[in-house]
Amino acid sequence: MSPTRFVLDCDTGSDDAIAILAAASHPGLEPVAITTVGGNVALADVTANTLSVLGLVGADVPVYSGADRPYLRPDLPIPRDVLNKDSAFQLSRLGFGEPVSTARAEHAVDFLTRFYGDAASADAALVATGPLTNVALALTAEPGLAERIPRLVLMGGAHANGNVTAAAEFNFWADPEAAQVVLTAGIREVVIVPLDATHSAPLSERDCEVFERIGTPAAAGVAMLLRHRLEHDRAAAGSAPVHDPMCVAYLVRPDLFTEQVEASVSVETIGERTLGELLVDTRPWRSEPSNATVALRASTAVYRDFLRTAFAAG
């Protein structure tokens, strides 16, 4: 069976980096290109982190740099340096050294419109693990593009508690207008991986030890990133959610999610206390048609098996 082809749009922080390493290592995955967007850290650092992570494993995947500010707003709702002030978790550089390659000259949005405008891309899913700015700009620039993206799997939102506010998860909060544009664009298959799913299958110190025993550069890099997350993003004693790799895992392990709903989804773009909130309408009598599958729980066993398969191969 040929590997699953996809484009990854990301804001490379540590969990995006683990997703990239898994995508570059897993025998069932073929990352065709990576587009970068400002999010966890500034765009230049996102792009440098992406190139450095690819360099760690010698992966020849073209990188296209994209939006460094939100779709409509001049900045995040709270500027990044204020949001990350005193944060030991969010590092501008991930520690994999300076990049040994450079991003392509073409802007990420131009790449996305060109790539999905080509019929040969009809089998390539789009995976988004950062704010949806690039995707929203491409959908706006190219009417009809939504019909040409066969499948969008994205990390974002929260049905229960958010992580930036009680209501909002970071990717949707950072650019709520972009998230609303993307979710209502009419892409035929949208799978949302919210915090509910990612927090239901956290990784642990034991996973670090397994990755370290594998001993490959990818596995050692993942162990380092996971240790950092365990130290600074602890969800429960001794475990930490690792959000973004779930999206690439789902491409080859459709059994990853143990609970999901079909819903009419939208994103709050005005609320003073709820800006960026994902609204998941499952009321049987709702007037809006379903426009997304929302994963609510994941299998830790399947997630671990995916990661170990990826990094044992890497």
* Min dist. Cβ of residue 251 to Ca ion (A): 16
Token pair belonging to 281: 């309408």
Residue 292's alpha-carbon distances to 32, 193, 217, 264, in angstroms, are 24, 10, 36, 7
| Distance, CA of 284 to CA of 248 (rounded, Å) | 31
170 binds, among Ca ion, ligand RIB, none (CB under 5 to 8 A by kind): ligand RIB
Q: Counting Cβ atoms within 10 Å, is residue 74 exposed (0-12), middle (13-18) or buried (19+)?
A: exposed
16-24, 200-208, 278-286, 292-300 -> range binding Ca ion (CB under 5 A): 16-24
Q: Which is nearer to Ca ion, 45 or 244 (CB)?
A: 244
Label each residue of 216-272 as H, E or C: CHHHHHHHHHHHHHHHHCCCECCEECCCCHHHHHHHHCCCCEEEEEEEEEEECCCCC
Query: Which is nearest to 21 in space by CA: 103, 129, 174?
Result: 129
- DSSP one-letter code for 3: P
Please compute Rg for the chain using Cα positions. Answer: 18
- Give me the residue label for tokens 């990301």: 10
CB of 288 vs Ca ion, minimal distance in Å: 28
Measured from the CB atom, the residue of 63 and 121 that comes closer to ligand RIB is 63
Encoding tokens for residue 172?
């949707």
The reply to whether 11 sits near ligand RIB by the rule CB under 6 A is yes
Is 66 an interacting residue with respect to Ca ion (CB under 5 A)?
A: no
Our finding on whether 96 is near ligand RIB (CB under 6 A) is no
- Pick from 94, 103, 153, 155: which binds ligand RIB (CB under 6 A)? 155
| Amino acid making up residue 66 | G
Does residue 159 carry a catalytic annotation? no
Residues 170-189 that bind ligand RIB (CB under 6 A): 170-171
Interface region with ligand RIB, contact rule CB under 6 A, candidates 140-148, 167-175, 268-276, 300-308? 167-175
- Candidate residues 31, 38, 66, 130; the one interacting with Ca ion per rule CB under 5 A: 130
Please state the closest distance from residue 242 (CB atom) to ligand RIB, in A: 9
Q: Which stretch binds ligand RIB (CB under 6 A): 10-18, 49-57, 65-73, 269-277?
A: 10-18
Confirm or reject binding of residue 129 to Ca ion (CB under 5 A): yes
Residue 9 binds to ligand RIB (criterion: CB under 6 A): no
Q: Which of 25, 35, 40, 134 binds ligand RIB (CB under 6 A)?
A: 40
- In DSSP terms, which residues pair with 121 in a beta bridge? none
Directed axis angle between helix 217-232 and helix 43-57, to 10°?
140
Question: Min. distance of Cβ 19 from Ca ion in angstroms?
Answer: 8
d(CA 195, CA 190): 16
Report residue 47 as tokens. Answer: 């792009």
Nearest approach in angstroms of CB 144 to ligand RIB is 28
15 binds ligand RIB (CB under 6 A): yes
Catalytic residues: 243
Site residues for Ca ion per CB under 5 A: 11, 16, 129-130, 244
* List of residues contacting ligand RIB (CB under 6 A): 11, 13, 15-16, 39-40, 129-130, 155, 163, 169-171, 243-244
